[in-house]
Structure 1
Amino acid sequence: MATRDFAVDVAVYNSTDMSAYKRAGAHQVIVKATEGLGYINPKASAQVKSAHNNHMYLHAYHFATFGNNVGRAKAEAKFFVSRAKKLNISKKRYLWLDWETGDGNVVINSAYSNTKAIMAFMKVCHNAGYKVGLYSSASIFRQYVDTAKIIKKYGTCLWVASYATMGRIDKPDFNYFPSMNGVAIWQFTDNWCGLSVDGNITLKELITDAVKVPAKKVVAKPKTPSICYVPILYGNPNYKVRLLDSEGHYQKYIATNTRWEVWGVKIIKGMKCYRIGTNEQWVPAKFTKIIK
């Protein structure tokens, strides 16, 4: 998967058929699963099924209503995780927290208290084994959330909404990118390609398990050994050369005027040695000649 990847996020007011989004170029879908402590997106199951049928990577999101309430944040997170499991959202994907104004969610508290509640929610999802991220508008991030603290804990995990203009946009204009640290996805329009669906572009690799073509296995050809010759030394045909093991301990003797297969080379006791035969038997190279 490329870092720059189109994604759509869908809720109850969007179609259950993802094929039009796929044809337009989207490879990822973020399905709204839950909201608050009791709402379940009635179209989520069908949207999930269609995303799979269209071979699109699938994430899920929850719309927050907990504001800066830590206890409620944890409860909403547990509700979200439970539903994500029932929808079979892979733990290789992201569970996103949509934390913005609406449906009673109050954002105009201190950045400290807001962030504490947000992180309590994200911790529950993370502890359940999922990757986690946080969605909101650029203005809310800048005024009401300590994004640096969240990024420090969870890395590049912000999903930021900021539109260059209202109305149809097919491709993101990065001259209008909301510059800030930690942005993983940019939502650049609410009418992508005229399909009345939110359009997003990824800025980091969200999918790390895409199928890779395995490297062709290289079968090594059997090694052909060299041949060394132990000549008659010092004019004495009865002279013998003593072998060593790999640790430098002296072993048995071999006669001169003989030939041996060489299967390795090693420095032992400061001497270049050849491994002969199939066992760890090494002959000092100074007593031999390589003839093949």
Structure 2
Amino acid sequence: MNIEVVKLACFSPTGTTKAIAKAIAKGIGETTVEMVDITRPEVREKPFSTSADELLVMAVPVYAGRVPVVLSAWLDAFKADNTPVVCVVVYGNRDYDDALLELKDIMKQKGAVPLAGAAFIGEHSFSSEDTPVAVGRPDEADLSLAEEFGRKLADKLKSFESIDEIPELTVSGKYPYKEFSPPISADFMIVSDECTQCGLCAEACPTGAINPEESSDVVQEKCIRCCACIKICPEGARVMKPSPLKDIAVKLFNNCKERKEPVLFF
């Protein structure tokens, strides 16, 4: 198959998913690469489509074992025209549950043809100095494997004469998908006097929940608890306070210490 463009579409509030997507593209090699970073809300308002002479790498983080709900409207509007697609999920060393299966199903429904899938590990959103979970991941080994995955993808594509030759892709997951967890209060953060109102947290927020003029002003209904604002703060002024979310962070720290490795599907 002749692929002219590789499109990387990724939602990556803390940068881990984007790092994996870029490493996969590097492994694919000498092809025009277009990055479509849908982390910012204004980008998700723009239409997005793909064609049969493109390869799509769709990469999203796992939120409670599922594809992030915040992407629902954007994914509903997405259109593909027999585009080969690589489905990638990135999870925080607990489990990716049904997220990869769900992403594959969504891509098929939108007109794409799943070529391969992968579940990689990234530092958990709730990871902190006192509750570290998968710190530093994706690490060098993860990124090296992502590049190798990209090289295998390029070889796979060359082995097919047409899109019709791509066999049905099987990935881990089950039906019905894991039920969404009950809502957790978004009131989980303290902003200390160390805050300089630099605005980086507002820029990083994938839902526009933070007032750029006053960083302690957060629209709770918009917050998706990705903790991008905590991780990007140069002063360490945003921290988790005692809360149900902090309790989950402690549980993850206690139960998810064993290193998990990426899983690839062709």
Shorter chain as denominator, the TM-score bin is 0.3 to 0.5
Higher normalized helix content (fraction of residues): 2
* Larger Rg belongs to: 1
When normalised by structure 1's length, the TM-score is 0.30
Answer 1 or 2: higher relative contact order, Cα 8 Å, separation at least 6: 2
Q: Which has a greater percent of strand?
A: 1
* TM-score normalised by length of structure 2: 0.32
